[in-house]
């Protein structure tokens, strides 16, 4: 289906109120992306270009740049999240939970949500068999999470084919985060039951800020605070909002950047901290009951603590 066949236009000002547990205005979720980059392929992203140009292989400098994030940067980010008692979501490749077992184990021990992120780190449009890729990812994450199947999906680079939402539902997924088009959960039609899209972000995202827009690290802090302030104001009318903070260990886990991520988590001591900790019972933002009650294009169901998976 084309996007406009999956979701109708719905102005946020004309929806039924979206209520969060305890009357909270907002829920904030933190997504840590863990990927495995294949040294036999061109690197998904680069920090250095070779002297003669092109994409030579093996690309040791750029592979090592990313590998640093999983060897060192992740553990810095983990220390910050532990210090602030924040339970994150791990968006992870199916191959990465096996390549970086200590990371998967640390997430499992902290009861983080495991979210499918493709079996390998490449565009879903380039995957030979998408159904098989989703199946293998699901099995790998379930094994890493102690038998708990993932219920959410984030495509590598937010990429999808025309069929991705259909295949996700057919593989038992309840939510996806690729459709960055709203501040509230919305339902996407599929050839089966609807799937809920949870608001992700391309703005409060270290890849966009640091690698594409070339902002200094402090932009991460300032933008997150500005985003939170506006969304908190918007939610005063009974329309709750969802905010995402996205980090990649090879970017935000670098020594000169990490403190700005930490600043985000300790700023706004009342409002932001409440939005983060209101989910301490479980980090997932959508339940089976929510998915079933969200009508096409309109997030009308209330999230309740008992309904959180």
Q: What is the pLDDT of residues 63-78, one digit of tens each?
A: 999 999 999 999 999 9
Task: Please state the rounded mean pLDDT for residues 126-149.
Answer: 96
Q: Tell me how far the alpha carbon of residue 22 is from its chain's centroid.
A: 24
Contact at 8 Å (CB) between 154 and 116? yes
Residue 295 belongs to domain with CATH number? 3.20.20.370
Q: Where are the beta strands (DSSP E) in the chain?
A: 26-34, 89-92, 113-116, 152-153, 175-176, 186-188, 195-197, 241-247
| Domain of 200, in residue numbers | 14-46+56-303
Query: Cα–Cα distance between 303 and 307 in angstroms, integer?
Result: 7
Give me the pLDDT at residue 271, please: 57
Q: Is residue 101 one of the residues assigned to a domain?
A: yes
Structural domains in the chain (count): 1
Q: What is the DSSP letter of 120?
A: S
Mean pLDDT of 262-266: 84
Q: How confident is the model at residue 305 (pLDDT cuts 50, 70, 90)?
A: very low
CA–CA gap between residue 27 and residue 21 (Å, rounded):
9
User: Could you check whether the bond before residue 58 is cis, i.e. omega within 30 degrees of 0?
Assistant: yes
Point out which residues pair with 188 in neighbouring strands: 195
Count other Cβ atoms within 10 Å, centred on residue 171. Answer: 16
Residue 309 lies in a domain: no
- Asked whether residue 51 is domain-assigned, the answer is no
Residue 57 pLDDT class (50, 70, 90 cuts): confident
- 286 or 31, greater pLDDT: 31
DSSP letter (8 states) at residue 147 = S
pLDDT of residue 273: 55
The least confident of 37-46, 102-111, 133-142, 280-289 is 280-289
Say if 9 falls within a structural domain: no
In a domain, 229, yes or no: yes
Does 279 fall in a domain?
A: yes
Mean pLDDT for 281-297 is 38
In a domain, 21, yes or no: yes
Q: If you count DSSP H runs as helices and E runs as strands, how many of each does the chain have, helices first?
A: 12, 8
Residue 289 lies in a domain: yes
């Amino acid at each position: 289906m084309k996007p406009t066949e999956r979701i109708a236009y719905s102005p946020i000002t004309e929806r039924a109120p979206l209520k969060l547990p305890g009357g909270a205005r907002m829920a904030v979720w933190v997504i840590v992306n863990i990927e495995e980059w294949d040294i036999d392929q061109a690197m998904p992203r680069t920090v250095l270009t070779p002297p003669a140009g092109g994409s030579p292989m093996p690309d040791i400098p750029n592979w090592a740049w990313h590998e640093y994030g999983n060897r060192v940067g992740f553990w810095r980010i983990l220390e910050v999240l532990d210090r602030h008692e924040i339970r994150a979501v791990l968006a992870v490749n199916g191959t990465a939970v096996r390549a970086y077992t200590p990371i998967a184990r640390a997430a499992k021990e902290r009861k983080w949500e495991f979210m499918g992120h493709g079996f390998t780190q490449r565009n879903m449009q380039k995957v030979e068999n998408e159904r098989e890729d989703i199946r293998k990812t699901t099995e790998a994450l379930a094994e890493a999470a102690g038998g708990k199947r993932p219920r959410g999906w984030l495509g590598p680079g937010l990429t999808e084919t025309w069929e991705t939402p259909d295949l996700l539902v057919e593989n038992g997924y309840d939510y996806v985060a690729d459709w960055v088009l709203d501040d509230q959960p919305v339902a996407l039609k599929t050839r089966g039951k609807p799937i809920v899209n949870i608001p992700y972000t391309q703005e409060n995202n270290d890849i966009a800020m640091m690698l594409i827009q070339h902002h200094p690290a402090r932009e991460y802090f300032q933008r997150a605070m500005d985003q939170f302030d506006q969304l908190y104001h918007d939610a005063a009318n009974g329309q709750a909002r969802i905010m995402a903070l996205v980090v990649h260990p090879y970017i935000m886990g670098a020594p000169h950047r990490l403190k700005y991520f930490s600043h985000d988590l300790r700023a706004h001591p009342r409002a932001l901290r409440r939005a983060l900790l209101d989910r301490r019972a479980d980090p997932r933002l959508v339940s089976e009951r929510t998915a079933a009650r969200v009508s096409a294009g309109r997030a009308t169901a209330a999230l309740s603590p008992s309904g959180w998976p």
